[in-house]
Structure 1
């Protein structure tokens, strides 16, 4: 069957599930019929829907395709969101436990044990990230992602038995090793199913589930501190790790049954034959038909491309802002004031997640609407620059400092924007796309390890005066703003123009 180009795809107003009309290479009409001998039915084109600012489907999407997208949103996104919710819950529980009695019970004192727990976790992410996402191109995602979720949740459960910092370090390493498959793996699957104009919103919705995980971790620890302290002879902070494992088990089962894999490999029970075929055509029309094999050529295809360097640099600038640790630093600041109870110390930082949620929704819709991510990244970067400048100065009122800590939550929208951007830019090379998504995370975590230990160790929180932590992060925020807002769009435009010139020359030859 001939493939539709993007312009032809936008012209389709109605698609009959039994008969698909496409344009053949000669400009004529060709039809693919469900059964031989069936006469093609004449369909009346739908009237174009009026363009609206807030819309979930592109104007002109047929009722049948809307049903397909609904199934994707329901099954693919629901498991993805639940998995990422559990991931962020497990990633942030260590900070909530630390300020809820763990450091006192285990005699950690004013050292950097919390920073080292983050460091060993990041080492696991570095080792696992890139290779985990290459595995997902040959192993069905529903088995790989669900298996990784169960394995890291098991290591989280073992945390409740820890009696010293070294036991935490070992378990946190293995948690990070298997958690490394979650974010790039799900982003790879989302990029395998959705069009360019649908990516930012879905990616944002996925990452927002992690924000809810961050918030829920604080609420859960607060509730456990109030109601489970001493139950069964176990401290409340230990109960947190037990409950996190219990929450993960049904998500694992759901993923094994309902996750749809990728369009060209899916055997999901809820898709009919037309929907499976149409799902493949949607991606083919975007120019992202899966190509390439997992062989030696993958090294040249990946490291000879501009995408691996451009998006890795962007993600590194993002991690070096230490924005992903802002809730942790906010928690330590609240504790240092000695003005708040333990439940309040766990609950107040969840407002950072609320800001994150709002920005992810807004930036996802705006990026899809204008068809560009650079201006959105630049605008958010300017706001982040102001926040970090205030934290660098530090000598402001307590209420103003609280507001700035909360407003730093806008940082989180960068991850879905960069992931959708990379999915789009890498086209149909599935190995390159998978590797870039994993590699950018691995390198980002690699560079943040020494930065966090040297510039923002937990023993220097919350001011980091001796290490000049906030000033160093401010420099990275400026680099992030300039690269994603100006440098990366210009690079993509330049490389795109080179490809067009090359294609024209090949056509003339």
Structure 2
């Protein structure tokens, strides 16, 4: 077995096997060079963002990733969520009345979108692993769905919207798991959680932006060129999305071992391969049916999916906030803008808990704390008949749920460093289950005609929160058990390997 050991200044050196599924052992050694203590101001800034701590090679390289790759991922997920959720702002801004959507049409818009996501997710990840580089596939899908979003402005009935939403979902299926896999390929275990948190929270920023944009368009563009304010929202969303999609062709560096990114110099590429090996990550390789079968017959992916799915379901409560606001007599502008304060809470909470998890390594404990906060919010919402201020507080508190899923994603990426294909499929498969649940849970638990007070919706979310806590504990237990078994297996292999004697001639 070919084994290569690569020292690194900022990560723990590891011994990496060339096999995708071979165990990775940690070597407790260092390069012996004393590290110069950084100035106090840098160490202080490093508490908030790791690359500010010093100007070492690792931080310089990571800053370059942040400036180009991470900033694109933030923008890419921003437009993804902007184009996914704009229907909600359009619905409360005149689309419901203009298209006569007084039944369950709002939830059906979600259902058709989710069906597209479910059908496209796994095939899209296989395409990226097997045939088309992410730097080509993801931006091409982004361009296509941007034009479909623009076409939604011309819809004359709900059926047209259903069809367009399906194809937007089909194309968007490449992005979220694709972005997560890129982050898991380029960032280390002590860097990942906060970046996944910020990446996910670009969706909250998109929701905030969509709310403010719809409010501005409703007051400033409503009726211009014969179009309503909600129609202008779809057009402006597409105009914003197209240039970001084009930038993706240049910003995505693919995998460290296959990158052709112009902004990575030769020494950067060499460093990225060494760095990847040092973290115990297998290099990119072709996906075979045998490897795919091994992924789905192993325990890792299913133990990951359970908490991933449950935290997503437990956090649905915030999605119905604007419907409650509409019944409270707020203006259309306020109905669109008040929830943006909740989006701000989700951004702050995600960065806060993600930073704690990166600094302390307590993925499970931090995630369980977030789940506990969300359970409290859902208990208050299920009681419902509480003072209006308390109900408002509960809705805002439910936005903290956004901090849970990034922690689980980062944890899953860290736990599966030894298998590049498993790492790519984790979030993709988790998304299929999440969107499958999203396709029916709102229809059953949150029917539009019951809005804003749902009989069983928030009680169901409490159950999901409890199952999320159970799932986090189970994944942590199995991950520790598997690491121990792999370490024992490698120790046995090392003991069985005869020592090589050298002689001097």
Partner of 1:410: 400
Q: CA deviation at 1:420?
A: 1.1
Aligned to 1:470: 458
How far does the alpha carbon of each residue in 1:116-171 deviate from its partner, in whole angstroms, 9 at most, with x for none?
Answer: 00001111111111221222223221111111111111111110111111111111
How many residues in Structure 1 have an aligned counterpart in Structure 2? 476
Residue 427 of structure 2 is matched in structure 1 by: 437
Compute the displacement of 1:11 (Å). 7.6
Matched, 1:117 2:117: no
CA contact (8 A) 2:349 2:400 kept: yes
Deviation at 1:62, TM superposition (A): 5.5
Change (3 A) 1:286 1:480: same
Q: Give the Cα–Cα distance (whole angstroms) in 1 for the partners of residues 12 and 166 of structure 2.
A: 51
1:143–1:470 CA distance, 2 compared to 1 (3 A)? same
Contact 1:419 1:437 in 2 (8 A): yes
Contact 1:317 1:477 in 2 (8 A): yes
Cα 1:108–1:56 shift into 2, 3 Å: closer
Which ranges in structure 1 are unaligned for 5 or more consecutive residues? 13-26, 31-42
Give, in whole Å, the separation in 1 of the partners of 2:87 and 2:364.
Answer: 34
Q: Deviations over 1:82-135 (max 9, x none)?
A: 1111111111110100010011111122x1100000001111111111221222
Mapped partners of 2:316, 2:436: distance in 1 = 14
Matches within 5 A, 1:300-449: 300-321=293-314, 323-324=315-316, 326-327=318-319, 329-337=320-328, 339-449=329-439
Instruction: Look up the match of 1:269.
Output: 262
CA drift at 1:368: 0.4
Residue 64 of structure 1 and its aligned partner are, at CA, apart by 3.0
1:391 to 1:324, Cα distance in 2 relative to 1, 3 A: closer
Indicate if the aligned counterparts of 2:12 and 2:279 stay in contact, CA closer than 8 A: no
The question of 1:496 aligning with 2:487 is answered: no
Instruction: Return closer, same or farther for 1:234/1:68 CA change in 2, 3 Å cut-off.
Output: same
CA distance in 1, matches of 2:424, 2:490: 25
TM-superposed deviation, 1:411: 0.7
Report the Cα offset of residue 355 of structure 1. 0.7
Establish whether residue 145 from structure 1 lines up as the match of residue 148 from structure 2.
no
Shift of 1:212: 0.4
Pick closer, same or farther for the CA change 1:215–1:29 going to 2, 3 Å: closer
Contact 1:124–1:180 under 8 Å retained in 2: yes
**1:505 aligned to which of 492, 496, 500:** 492
Question: What TM-score, normalized by structure 1, do the two folds share?
Answer: 0.88
Q: Deviations over 1:435-460 (max 9, x none)?
A: 12201111111123222211112222
Contact 1:319–1:445 (Cα < 8 Å) also in 2: no
Contact 1:131 1:435 in 2 (8 A): no
- Structure 2: 5+ residue stretches without partners: 14-27, 497-505
- The equivalent residue for 2:233 is 240
Name which of structure 1's ranges 425-434 and 229-238 shifts more when overlaid on structure 2: 425-434
Check conservation: 1:301, 1:432, Cα contact below 8 A.
no
Matches within 5 A, 1:185-196: 185-196=178-189
Q: Is the 8 A contact 1:137 1:430 kept in 2?
A: no
Cα distance change on mapping 1:292 and 1:44 into 2, 3 Å: closer
Change (3 A) 1:59 1:216: closer
Name the structure 1 match of 2:499. Answer: none
In structure 2, the residue matched to 1:84 is 77
Q: How far did 1:48 drift?
A: 4.6
Distance in 2, matches of 1:456 and 1:11, equals 48
Give the whole-Å Cα distance in 2 for the aligned partners of 1:444 and 1:264.
Answer: 31
